[in-house]
Structure 1
């Protein structure tokens, strides 16, 4: 790839290879803050999905959202599990607390519906396998909601890496931190180990983990990790995590995540012939600020952000409508859960865990 042309048509959808008609009708299961503030607007702004059903524990408090986004049906969880209004949607977006992902994803598959499920697929690898198996048995599409895989900065970085613009990647540095208690109470489900399945690693560390795997195009062979938690709100989950991944290419990824630090994120890949840096890749809105160095050349790109949530749902809808297998499929979700469980094992035992 010619470095001068690397940023041409930056926001192109390289996954969109044919024109398709129609939309995928979605039932949103779990109408929390992210669903209201990001998912519903992103779906409404997109091309290939539309929201037709909301599933919530408080139907009376969801009326405003239903009216704002012109959603015809609002169901409680029991009605959804029983299959009420199943003819009103084609697919399900599961956005509940992590421990309930499997229950609703499996129910959707049993109703013959496609599934896009928030990460992680479940709180354990075993429970996540049940989701993958149910979707395979039903013959429906399953996508793990790794929206960074549809984000232009990340996709352009993958192209640059696979075009050897920076040579062989030797080091990856990724970090993501967020002050959780500045916008959530101490009793949030994210700090409940049973509901979340973990803390900083599950909620934030999975972003540099999955994005690194996606860009390099291979899975890690080993992980070493440490965690730290203070008393009080973070007593039951990892408040901070640091983990190092080893890849079969010889690359090493050093990553950190924190639920109790200033909001910040970064991703840098250092190769034998250059480096790539993405500014703030994991914070929800990527500013499209990149620096690429290749040999003696250095280029910077700054462009308007793209709503990666909209891109994610359009990608899912496109895959369903065209019968295309999504890249962030169920196996992708299982792979990350295997690494997450190994990360916690490494932190408990103070030793590296082999993943080969």
Structure 2
């Protein structure tokens, strides 16, 4: 069994500054932190899961956020003020000033405030049913597994882990402890991307022939979290962060997992910044029905599209992945759908699945699948575009 990463969150953050602090990237946080995949394609689990350890009879389940960075602060916590099935019950932070501010703002009792050293005591807290891990990527496995051992259902931000092996350990730990694991793939719960799933999977315009997906952001000016540029901490560059949206968009457009991939790294125009992770990468995903997805992601460019051409028509979302303001059209006209607070819809749906002991539409197995695809994409790029078959 693979050993846990050999550093605590405190040491982790210290290492970030020591490793990258002199490299000219000092930044506020990332402006939008994304997540998604396909509900009809990912697992062979039964609809009702046996032996859940923490199934409870509550009108609302209590959720603790682990990590109080920008995404928790500006998206998840506000979303939890709008949810019907789940509420913000607790927090886990290593920063006393944050604990004090969140306690006051959200009326969180002292008994529901934890740090990274006493986190395991959460097993004794009946107020908390769900733990949402919102930490840097390399820390996901440790805290998902610890939460599972504490008999709490878990939501994990994307990417689920930095390796297939860690993702497998996470899935197994949740199974062994009778809890559910879901990934924070918010786009499965919002109208525009759900419409893409309908158009493609129900073959509204016939069989899908080609898909294009691009999610990129120009962060070469320094407006990126420093840890995202460290391979050990992030697992990779924009492919792990933004490209996972493109990967999933292609999969849920056709409702399938690809059978092969090819990939190439892009040119590195900012070597002082992108010396540990890729600056950009392009890849193709090949499906067993002949559909091909052309995907691209970069930290030094801009893009926000998910589109497809089918036998009898086409559709496009642009922007496709932002938290709000999505726009879409088809060969028949505009896609007219409402903006929603998608993180609220996401967490409500996940909490309902936990409550009813039913499989989430974005389970841990989906995150594991995505990491297998990402691993193959990186392998192809390292090997000069060789076609890598997925098993």
TM-score (norm: length of structure 2):
0.81
How far apart are the structure 2 equivalents of 1:68 and 1:206?
A: 33
- State the Cα distance separating 1:178 from its structure 2 match: 1.3
In structure 2, the residue matched to 1:148 is: 187
Residue in 1 aligned with 2:98? 61
Contact 2:208 2:311 (8 Å CA) reproduced? yes
| Distance in 1 of aligned mates of 2:120 and 2:319 | 39
Q: Distance in 2 between matches of 1:157 and 1:276?
A: 8
Contact 2:191 2:338 in 1 (8 A): no
Q: CA deviation at 1:61?
A: 2.6
Structure 1 residue 255 and structure 2 residue 295: aligned?
yes
Provide the rounded CA distance (Å) in 1 between the counterparts of 2:138 and 2:381.
22
Deviation for aligned residue 1:259: 1.2
**Is 2:389 the partner of 1:354?**
yes
Question: Secondary structure of 1:205's partner?
Answer: helix
Aligned residue pairs: how many? 332
Question: Which residue pairs with 1:344 in the alignment?
Answer: 378
Q: Contact 2:192–2:337 at 8 Å: present in 1 too?
A: no
- CA-to-partner distance for each residue in 1:145-202, whole Å, 9 max, x for gaps? 11111111111221222332110000000000112355736x7111111110000100
Listed as ranges, the gaps of 5+ residues in structure 2 are 1-38, 41-56
Go from structure 1 to structure 2 and tell me whether the alpha carbon gap of 1:68 and 1:182 turns closer, same or farther (over 3 Å shift): farther
Q: Give ranges in structure 1 of 5+ residues lacking alignment.
A: 1-13
CA contact (8 A) 1:172 1:254 kept: yes
RMSD: 2.0
Equivalent residues in 2 for 1:1-356 (5 A)? 22-72=59-109, 73-83=112-122, 86-181=125-220, 184=223, 188-228=226-266, 229=268, 230-262=270-302, 264-287=303-326, 289-293=327-331, 298-350=332-384, 351-356=386-391
2:300 is paired with a residue whose SS is: coil
Q: Deviations over 1:39-95 (max 9, x none)?
A: 111121111111111101213233223322232232111111344753330010000
How does the TM-score come out when normalised to structure 1? 0.88
Q: Which residue of 2 aligns with 1:10?
A: none
Which one scores higher on RCO, CA 8 angstroms, separation ≥ 6?
A: 2
CA contact (8 A) 2:141 2:166 kept: yes
